[in-house]
Chain A
Amino acid sequence: MAGLELLSDQGYRVDGRRARELRKIQARMGVFAQADGSAYIEQGNTKALAVVYGVPRGIGGVRSRALPDRALVNCQYSSATFSTGERKRRPHGDRKSCEMGLQLRQTFEAAILTQLHPRSQIDIYVQVLQADGGTYAACVNAATLAVLDAGIPMRDFVCACSAGFVEGTALADLSHVEEAAGGPQLALALLPASGQIALLEMDARLHEDHLEQVLEAAAQAARDVHTLLDHVVRQHVREASILLGD
């Protein structure tokens, strides 16, 4: 039995997309009333929920963590036991979640204008309800919307997307099947307006000659995500203003 053919000769991927196409993205802002900001995103079958508590809350509890010159960004990631095909109990604070939390923190420290709120804390909680590849990207995108929903000033949107590399072609927005096939996989968080990179991560070997191509695919995908998220935000603002207008 031959393995899965990730990219057919005709240029279609396993799920019928072309190399540079994104999965279907649906997003909603303001899903919870209690939180300062919240958002829900679906990228194909990957579903993530983000909640933000933040400004102008001071730091409760451990005061020593407060930073004198800027706000502290605290990110927590968790994934539901039912998010993957196999039911697996993941205790809170396992290594994978910690790492993801750290990555999200780095990403958002680069995007949020933290110096505007010294001695305060911004909490971002992200939960993955269903995982089908590109969890990091979905988390970042959901969190961006949630932070926007909370009205926390940011430099720009942070849009993230993953990209892979198969037989000389860069694939954007990998699904779980494509990730599991074990090629190189790159995660990129981009500030689309300036083109600055908030986070770039890759854990497999990829020759530097090909890096540019893969990076370009991921960046283009991130810009596409931005267009979509921008649309969602505008839609949300329009709805909110109609409600206020009443």
Chain B
Amino acid sequence: MLKSKTFLKKTRAGGVMKIVREHYLRDDIGCGAPGCAACGGAHGGPALEPLPQDPASSLWPRPHYLLPDTNVLLHQIDVLEDPAIRNVIVLQTVLQEVRNRSAPVYKRIRDVTNNQEKHFYTFTNEHHRETYVEQEQGENANDRNDRAIRVAAKWYNEHLKKMSAENQLQVIFITNDRKNKEKAVEEGIPAFTCEEYVKSLTANPELIDRLACLSEEGKEIESGKIIFSEHLPLSKLQQGIKSGIYLQGTFRASRENYLEATVWIHGDTEENKEIILQGLKHLNRAVHEDIVAVELFPKSQWVAPSSVVLQDEGQNEDDVEKEEEREQMLKTAVNEKMLKPTGRVVGIIKRNWRPYCGMLSKSDIKESRRHLFTPADKRIPRIRIETRQASTLEGRRIIVAIDGWPRNSRYPNGHFVKNLGDVGEKETETEVLLLEHDVPHQPFSQAVLSFLPKMPWSITEKDMKNREDLRHLCVCSVDPPGCTDIDDALHCRELKNGNLEVGVHIADVSHFIRPGNALDQESARRGTTVYLCEKRIDMVPELLSSNLCSLRCNVDRLAFSCIWEMNHNAEILKTRFTKSVINSKASLTYAEAQMRIDSATVNDDITISLRGLNKLAKILKKGRIEKGALTLSSPEIRFHMDSETHDPIDLQTKELRETNSMVEEFMLLANISVAKKIHEEFSEHALLRKHPAPPPSNYEILVKAAKSKNLEIKTDTAKSLAQSLDQAESPAFPYLNTLLRILATRCMMQAVYFCSGMDNDFHHYGLASPIYTHFTSPIRRYADIIVHRLLAVAIGADCTYPELTDKHKLADICKNLNFRHKMAQYAQRASVAFHTQLFFKSKGIVSEEAYILFVRKNAIVVLIPKYGLEGTVFFEEKDKPKPHLIYDDEIPSLKIEGIVFHVFDKVKVKIMLDSSNLQHQKIRMALVEPQIPGISIPTDSSNADLNEPEKKKKKLEK
């Protein structure tokens, strides 16, 4: 192996330092084309095709490879990801530049490279003897890299010619840089811009839409009117942030009002944590989630967050005057106290754009190619895209990416990425809500599946190492009906000394998912299984989740057991953890288990075991509540699905049985025991879960609301809150207690995972436990897998690995898990909302009783107990005279035309489906009782009337 050597000298400013690095040039780097005699066999892994056939380009009809430069890769990654584009050579120079400039694109290009079917090849040109280029005197780094890319392209062409002259195989250089292209053509390298090339692919016209429209930005001078002030350059922003003129924060657009946004300031200062931005100009082209720099206004210009709901509806582009008018609407007289720090965006520090789901709003002009795209997420502005397929895309859900936002444009420019399908179709909508909540839901890749155990699988000698045989125990599982991923099972038996032995057996997923492999990485990325109404997005492949890991009855399964010895007062005498093999004797549903416990005639082992568990669980629960654990309530609904069409037929709120709380009690106990153990063993890197106590201000709504009903809620400790909630009963109003609990739930903070070495507050507020973790559902939560691994190491049943005891890595995992859990929750809610719509669509219009949960400035939020459904009743509608509204923030109450609404008031509302906006079909509620002339809908209409088609139509027209 020949090595030659040159030196690269680098000088770094600031204490001048000379760095000498070696740079070896090699002659054994393959060109990536199989069958190449000159360098055959020198490469493994993904390679180019020997004779690329498919991309029939009209510009270059002969077979060819593509060689894009850095900017093409950075900006046109959407095009490159398309299956039509294959056989691309990615140079090391290009890859390094991409890596330095954009981590997400780098990750995407790596994924593409790893996909065997795409035939992407990474050529290590910087270390190749013939393609290495030294920086010349007076040449800057960019020019050098461009030259290196051209040299590599030229080398390829000569090399390929040597390989087989008759094929006329060539490399086409793709660059959007005009100068670079000219130089390449001069040197005899066929070069095109990305646009030229993509347009020449006659077989794939849809690719054109995926092109990012960057090139046009400079040339085009639209109306010429500049709407936004210029963004300051990064250097100035950093200076400003350092000196305190500007503040850095995350931009969060308001869901309800497109002219308003808040910026969460990074850092620890308590004051000015949140800055309000109002008006299009002050938002200055920032998009939700961007990291921005803001300038704070003097106090005289501060405003209060408006409680007005505003939607961007202007079909006309660029009519700014109207906006100004609307902005005035926001500024209402408010008292001094309400004013919040206000500011404007001066510059963008980091864009956090991602592809957005939404729908096309077709332009009014028939031939126009430019259309506006309305994202499903209301916090994202509309995006202008260019497409020829507007008519086919109409009424469909599509994905669009933003390319840029020029100063003279009301809307950002973007390009079309993907067509998801027809709007309203269940599959499309599910896809949309998964995408919008960033839930990874692609089928598992081959690489991931390759780490699954081979079927038929059985327990071998090797598996039995460090494992206890518990197959003789009478273990059973209790789960909701239809559950296929059973991750917990229980047993209880009396010991000879009169004590009870209770065991919680959890599926041993960490036995199958070994740290660091593709399967592990994928599960870590997904973080959690997402349960939608009719679908489950698994965290681990189905073979594991529903078969090998699932603790089904009458088969031998590997488990991780937590076994306590307890006395009859449920006091733990001894705790023991072990990996085990179990054989579950029965898989019961909650109802079945309840029936066994209740019926006196059944006296088999399983039932005795269940009764023992149930008895202990009751004692445990009592103890927990005495300690101050909260029982909160949230209206949960369940759909009865049609088995054929999977359409929801009926809605039902979830029912709770004794057995539910029995299983829950032991899971909590196991989690707490495990948390103690792993924290004892790994004080620095235990993965725990905490639930911080909410700040007192969070309870304000609850206390005020209770006061209006002459009840007092104490919120100083969890215990007093729990007690005062228990006492808050009103004989005349039995549902009040549930409502209060629902409100209390809204006051709570999110529970989060964290690494014990990075935090010192471990308390779990809701469960009133000093320490807590998740151990009991490794099939559907990744956190549990990590906890299993930690516990296995702690008891010496498994070996450790470096990442496990790296608290920074663990903190990263926690961050991802917290994000995924939040997103999974949102996706779940969105799925319920969508199915509720489907349900009401089939049901027509109904009137129901409801309670007011919140009072807003121009609306009330109500809850319908029958369906567990929450909705907003608006009192202002466009094209209608505004009613006289008086909003009182202190009580809070809303007075409309003499009728006052308080929190918890009982009203009657009409529920209907509003399809006026196809994209956001929603449940709409209108007031029926109390009657307010001009606002509420007449009560005389009975249910029969409501189904009258004529009437329905009228309402939808509004």
Binding site for B on A (CB under 8 A): 1-2, 5, 8-10, 12, 14-17, 21, 23-24, 44-45, 85-86, 132, 168, 175, 177, 205-207, 209-210
Contacts and interface: CB of A to CB of B under 8 A. Distances in A.
Contacts of A132: 20, 22
Contacts of B800: 207
Contact of B110 (A9, A45, A85, A168): A9
B122 A10 contact: yes
A9 B45 CA distance: 10
Given A23-B22, A85-B18, A205 B802 contact: yes
Interface string B125-152: 0110000000000000000000000000
B100 A10 contact: no
A206 B24 contact: no
Contact of B17 (A1, A21, A85, A205): A85
B131 to A, nearest CB: 12
Chain B contact residues: over half helix, strand or loop, or mixed? mixed
B103 A8 contact: no
B194 to A, nearest CB: 24
B92 interface: yes
B100 A1 contact: yes
A24 B22 CA distance: 10
Interface of B: 1, 3, 5, 15, 17-26, 45, 92, 96, 99-100, 103, 106, 110, 113, 122, 124, 126-127, 516, 799-802
11 contacts: A1-B100, A8-B122, A15-B22, A15-B23, A16-B24, A16-B126, A16-B127, A132-B20, A206-B802, A207-B802, A209-B799
Given A10-B122, A207-B801, A45 B26 contact: no
Given A10-B122, A16-B23, 20 more contacts: A1-B100, A2-B99, A2-B103, A2-B106, A5-B96, A5-B99, A8-B92, A9-B122, A10-B45, A10-B124, A15-B21, A16-B25, A23-B22, A44-B22, A85-B17, A86-B15, A86-B17, A175-B22, A207-B800, A209-B799
Nearest to B1: A21
B219 to A, nearest CB: 32
A5 B799 CA distance: 28
Contacts of B18: 85
Contact of A9 (B19, B21, B113, B801): B113
A184 to B, nearest CB: 9
Contacts of B15: 86
A15 B100 contact: no
Nearest to A1: B100
A170 B319 CA distance: 63
Nearest to B12: A85
A23 B126 CA distance: 17
B20 A45 contact: yes
Contacts of A10: 45, 92, 122, 124
A100 B45 CA distance: 43
Contacts of B23: 15-16
Nearest to B806: A205
A168 B516 contact: yes
Contacts of A85: 17-20
A229 to B, nearest CB: 18
Contacts of B106: 2
A5 B516 CA distance: 19
Contact of B3 (A9, A12, A24): A24
A230 B134 CA distance: 36
A177 B22 CA distance: 10
Contacts of A8: 92, 122, 124
A210 B20 CA distance: 31
A24 B5 contact: yes
A17 B5 CA distance: 11
A1 B99 CA distance: 8
A193 to B, nearest CB: 25
Contacts of B127: 12, 16
B822 to A, nearest CB: 27
Contacts of A15: 21-24
A132 B7 CA distance: 13
Nearest to B5: A24
A132 B801 CA distance: 30
A125 to B, nearest CB: 25
A177 B26 contact: no
Contacts of B126: 16
A7 to B, nearest CB: 12
A132 B22 CA distance: 9
Contacts of A207: 800-802
A88 to B, nearest CB: 11
Please name the 7 residue pairs, one residue from A and one from B, whose CB atoms are nearest each other, closest first.
A16-B127, A16-B24, A85-B17, A15-B22, A207-B802, A44-B22, A10-B124
Contacts of A86: 15, 17
A183 to B, nearest CB: 10
Nearest to B30: A10
A134 B122 CA distance: 30
